[in-house]
Amino acid sequence: MLVAERYDEIVRLVSERGSIRVTELSDRFGVTEETIRRDLDALEGRGLLRRSHGGAVRNNDQLEAPYFERESVNIEEKREIAQTALQFVAPGDQIILDASTTAWYMASLMQNIRLTVLTNSIKVCMELANKDKVTVISTGGLLSPRSLSFVGPSAERALDLYHVNKAFISCKGLHMQRGITESNELQALVKRKMIGISDERYLLIDHSKFDVQDFTFVSDLEQIQHVITDSRTTGDAVARLREASVRVVQVERVSS
């Protein structure tokens, strides 16, 4: 078993059970207890669990909101942002869609065109499955039931194999000084990798995400070239982004 695979399995076991002992992990994987202790130290350093006497416990500081809860928040704004984002997708592009609900809306609204989509989202994969001109590549990895996505060392390692010209990602918070943040370390690490393998980065965020700092850091604002947001985002927030050399596309709400 590769080290990354052992990491995934350790995180899964701790997440499911709440705690586990070094001796059990040593027996399970056929490695020394010292090796397991090093594994746990590494995983604790990445915020994926917490060390305890003789083992490790689940890190409860970074629980994600379940997907069905996120799906029901600011629905119209997310749809409008997703529709606008699709204007920047051209036939032949190789793009990333993350596990956000806005990226899922992009997938649901996307035309059946020649395109390669790399994603860690089960929902995105399912949405694109009936679009035969779209090539879909899933990262695989540790399944996160709350977000219906793949995360963990295997997902990150899979992303190392690729390079794309555009990435469309969302986040929990955007702060002008503290950058882009997420509520969950596992998601943050995957998004950081997605940003790193992309030529152009599009941040898809509604008005509620501005001036928010969440649990874990994803990237500096300087790594983002484009922000697509809704009509309720304040003019001051838009102006500050443009002063930071970020291209801002603000969706205009059409009155009915």
Assess whether pLDDT exceeds 70 at residue 39. Answer: yes
How does residue 205 score in pLDDT terms, banded at 50, 70 and 90? very high
Report pLDDT for 12.
80
Strands 164-169 and 198-204: parallel
Assigned CATH class of 67-250: alpha beta
Name the least confident of 46-60, 159-173, 215-229: 46-60
DSSP type of residue 226: E
The whole-number pLDDT of residue 255 equals 47
Within the chain, all domains assigned CATH 3.40.50.1360 are found at 67-250
Q: What is the mean pLDDT of residues 193-210?
A: 96
| Bridge partners, residue 217, by sequence | 181
- pLDDT tops 50 at residue 70: no
**In sequence order, which residues have a C-beta less than 8 Å from that of residue 15 and are 6 or more positions away?**
58
In this prediction, residue 5 carries a pLDDT of 83
Q: pLDDT higher for 2 or 233?
A: 233
Q: Residues of CATH 1.10.10.10 domain(s) within the chain?
A: 3-60
Specify burial of residue 65 (Cβ count, 10 A radius: 0-12, 13-18, 19+).
Answer: middle
What is the pLDDT, as a whole number, of residue 73?
53
Looking at domain 3-60, which CATH architecture does it have? Answer: Orthogonal Bundle (1.10)
DSSP 62-74: GPPPPHHHHHTSS
How far apart CA 13 and CA 96 sit, in angstroms, is 29
Q: Which of 235, 240, 237, 238 is nearest to 249 (CA)?
A: 238
Asked whether residue 72 carries a pLDDT value surpassing 50, the answer given is no
pTM: 0.74
Per-residue burial over 209-247, b = 16 or more CB atoms within 10 Å of its CB, e = otherwise: bbeeebbbebbebeebebbbbbeebeeebbebbeeeebe
% of the chain residues with pLDDT over 90: 68
Q: Which residues pair with 181 in a beta bridge?
A: 173, 217
Of residues 70 and 24, more confidence is placed in 24
Element holding 105 (H helix, E strand): helix 101-109
DSSP 3-state assignment of 122? helix
